[in-house]
Amino acid sequence: MDIQLHDKQFTPFISAEEIDFALTNIAKQIEDDFADETPVFVGVLNGAFMVVSDLLKKYNSPCEVSFIKLASYEGTTSTSNVKQIIGLNQNLEGRTVIVVEDIVDTGSTLEELKNLFKLQNVKHFKIATLFLKPDAYKKDIKLDYVGIRIPDKFIVGYGLDYDGLGRNLSEVYQLKD
């Protein structure tokens, strides 16, 4: 069933089951690569809160979790100036860091993150994202773990919002045109 958030209509796009399946795969891949490393998962707030929670429940080896908060979006278009709002207060030197994103769109947020982590002397810096919009992605930073590739259209739900609304939806909806 379609839903309305603020002034816009959204239609069901990705089910909770598909999300669950994608997260199971990501967790498995990371575990294959880093089970003996005690990685630090760094969730990018606000959007990644559900991804981190569900992903880590599927990750069955020792790990730590932390969060960082950034902003790049106003309304339904990505703005290119990304600002750090809340930084990490943990020493990550020599650690394996896995940044967890809800979605990678233009990649500006990731670029900013990569620059932030460059200064931290981490051992491995990896990126996991539930969603990727390949047609919008403009950077050449390697995305290590990608859940679901989607068209370059605005989505909400499962942590993602439209001007604050929709984050609590357990399925993902796409903007209707």
User: Which residue number, 58 or 153, has a Cβ lying nearer to ligand IMP?
Assistant: 153
Q: Can you tell me which of 100, 155, 169, 172 binds ligand IMP, judged by CB under 6 A?
A: 155
Binding window for ligand IMP (CB under 6 A); candidates: 7-15, 56-64, 92-100, 150-158: 150-158
Binding window for ligand IMP (CB under 6 A); candidates: 17-25, 50-58, 60-68, 101-109: 101-109
Active site residues: 105
Q: Provide Rg for the chain, Cα atoms.
A: 16
Amino acid at 102: D
If phi > 0 it is left, if psi is from -120 to 50 it is alpha, else beta; for residue 163 that is left
Within 8 A by CB and 6+ apart from 129, the residues are 100, 101, 102, 103, 104, 143, 145, 146, 147
Helix boundaries (H) for the chain: 16-34, 49-57, 108-118
| From the list Mg ion, ligand IMP, none, partner contacted by residue 160 (C-beta under 5 to 8 A by kind) | ligand IMP
Q: How far is the CB of 158 from Mg ion (least distance, A)?
A: 12
| From the list ligand IMP, Mg ion, none, partner contacted by residue 155 (C-beta under 5 to 8 A by kind) | ligand IMP
